[in-house]
Amino acid sequence: MAKISVLGAGSWGTALSLLLFNNGHDVTLWSALPDEVNMLREKREHASKLPGVKLPEVMEITTDLERSLKDPDVAVLAVPSPFTRSTAHQMAPYVREGQKIVNVAKGVEEKTLMTLSEIIEQEIPNADVCVLSGPSHAEEVGKGLPTTCVVSSRTRETAEYLQSIFMSPVFRVYTTPDILGVELGGALKNVIALAAGTADGLGYGDNTKAALITRGIAEIARLGVMMGAKAETFYGLSGIGDLIVTCASVHSRNRKAGYLMGKGYTMDEAMAEVKMVVEGVYSAKAAKGLSEKYEVEMPIINEVNKVLFEGKPASEAVMDLMLRDKKVETPMLPWED
The predicted-structure confidence for 14-73, as pLDDT tens digits, reads as follows 999 999 999 999 999 999 999 999 999 999 999 888 999 999 999 999 999 999 999 999
Domain boundary among 118, 149, 177: 177
Give the residue-averaged pLDDT of 104-118.
Answer: 95
263 is catalytic: no
Per-residue model confidence (pLDDT) at position 25: 98
User: Looking at the domain assignment, is residue 331 inside a domain?
Assistant: no
Say how far residue 231 (Cα) sits from the centre of its chain: 19
Give the residue-averaged pLDDT of 158-167.
Answer: 98
Which pLDDT tens digit goes with each residue over 273-298?
Answer: 887 777 788 889 999 999 999 999 99
Within this chain, do residues 135 and 261 fall inside the same structural domain, yes or no?
no
Give, in order, the Cα–Cα distances in Å from 157 to each of 16, 152, 257: 22, 11, 39
- Coil, helix or strand for 14? helix
3-state DSSP: the chain helix, strand, coil percent, rounded to 5?
55, 15, 35
Within this chain, do residues 96 and 208 fall inside the same structural domain, yes or no?
no
Within this chain, do residues 220 and 170 fall inside the same structural domain, yes or no?
no
Residues forming a β-bridge with 173: 149
Domain that holds residue 162: 3-177
- Band (pLDDT 50/70/90 cuts) for residue 325 is confident
Q: Catalytic pick from 49, 100, 106, 189?
A: 189
Per-residue model confidence (pLDDT) at position 80: 92
Within this chain, do residues 169 and 193 fall inside the same structural domain, yes or no?
no
Give the residue-averaged pLDDT of 296-314.
Answer: 92
Domain boundary among 148, 177, 206: 177
Within this chain, do residues 273 and 252 fall inside the same structural domain, yes or no?
yes
Strand order in the sheet with 3-7: 60-62, 26-30, 3-7, 74-77, 100-103, 128-133, 147-152, 171-176
pTM: 0.92
Distance CA 333, CA 331 (A): 5
Domain boundary among 162, 177, 192: 177
Within this chain, do residues 187 and 299 fall inside the same structural domain, yes or no?
yes
- Coil, helix or strand for 230? coil
Distance CA 4, CA 56 (A): 15
| pLDDT at residue 318 is higher than 90 | no
User: Looking at the domain assignment, is residue 333 inside a domain?
Assistant: no
Within this chain, do residues 170 and 185 fall inside the same structural domain, yes or no?
no
- Band (pLDDT 50/70/90 cuts) for residue 305 is very high
Within this chain, do residues 100 and 205 fall inside the same structural domain, yes or no?
no
Number of domains in the chain: 2
Within this chain, do residues 133 and 200 fall inside the same structural domain, yes or no?
no
User: Looking at the domain assignment, is residue 327 inside a domain?
Assistant: no
Within this chain, do residues 143 and 130 fall inside the same structural domain, yes or no?
yes
Give the residue-averaged pLDDT of 206-219.
Answer: 92
User: Looking at the domain assignment, is residue 330 inside a domain?
Assistant: no
- Band (pLDDT 50/70/90 cuts) for residue 8 is very high
